[in-house]
């Protein structure tokens, strides 16, 4: 993946690969511009993003959507765990508390779906 970013001139190798076993990269001016554009897009996405996600979900079969949700959810949470530590207090705690409430709510719903359904009995 890094090589493709170098080919697109978004990253460049720093130093000589011959002198070290590790390869270092730096973000190019074009790469910084792309990142800034991405940040602007993410910041303004809001409602449009939700609509697009819903449209995408409606177009996919339920099994494909659910599978993508589980896989992407794991990846997104891994990144969240890395990034949250970079947010200063007290914003970090506020975000963690909100995340906890969201996850608790979702866990409650999942638990309700996993519980065996009680069969209704017909009274005679």
pLDDT of 24-77, one tens digit each? 889 999 999 998 888 877 777 666 777 888 888 899 899 998 998 898 888 989
The overall pTM is greater than 0.85: no
User: In DSSP terms, which residues pair with 11 in a beta bridge?
Assistant: 27
Adjacent-strand bridge partners of 25: 13
| DSSP reduced 3-state for 14 | strand
């Amino acid at each position: 993946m890094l090589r493709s970013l170098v080919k697109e001139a978004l990253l460049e190798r720093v130093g000589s690969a011959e002198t070290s076993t590790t390869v270092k990269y730096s973000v190019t001016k074009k790469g910084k511009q792309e990142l800034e554009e991405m940040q602007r897009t993410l910041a303004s996405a809001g409602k449009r993003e939700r609509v697009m996600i819903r449209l995408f979900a409606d177009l996919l079969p339920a099994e494909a959507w659910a599978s993508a949700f589980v896989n992407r959810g794991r990846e997104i949470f891994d990144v969240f765990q890395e990034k949250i530590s970079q947010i200063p207090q007290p914003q970090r705690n506020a975000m963690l508390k909100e995340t906890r409430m969201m996850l608790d709510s979702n866990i409650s719903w999942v638990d309700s779906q996993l519980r065996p359904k009680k069969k209704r009995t017909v009274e005679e």
